[in-house]
Amino acid sequence: MNKIFALLSAALLSVAVAHATVKTEMGLSESKTGISETYRLQVPSEKASATVAVRLILPDGIAVSRFQTLPGFTHTVKKNDAGLITEVTWKGRIAPDEFARFFFQARNPAQPADVAWKVYQTYADGSVVAWDDTDKDYPASHTAVK
């Protein structure tokens, strides 16, 4: 009975934590001020419809310098008046029950901060899931820069 409960709990936990997340390349939710860091955005496709676009709004103070290519995906960026990248959109296909990891390099803010990564996931059926803290069921990913 305990084994069944443990397996069921683990399965439910994996579903509960499955969402778009930004972590360091090493899988951490914290980093140091002022350093260059490689980040990874992991996006699972959680519907019967494929994910066809992923838009990441970059937190203030994060200066992205480059992106790793991912076969089957293209990306476009938006920049502010100072020429800094403010958002990136990847287009491609993440099939149901699959996930993709998008890697990018950035310089962290010079001062300690809790940065929130807002992600908007578009599915082939036209629906968009906003991982941006506007709904407790769809949290933004956060990094503690210390």
Q: pLDDT > 70: what percent of the chain?
A: 88
Task: Kindly state the average pLDDT of the residues 117-134.
Answer: 98
The per-residue pLDDT for range 26-72, each reduced to its tens digit, is: 999 999 999 999 999 999 999 999 999 999 999 999 999 999 999 99
What is the pTM for the complete model shown? Answer: 0.87
Domains within the chain, CATH numbers bracketed? 19-145 (2.60.40.2230)
DSSP string, 38-99: EEEEEEE--SSSPEEEEEEEPPTT-EEEEE---TT-EEEEEE-TTS-EEEEEEEEEE-TT-E
Would you place residue 2 in the very low, low, confident or very high pLDDT band (cuts 50, 70, 90)? very low
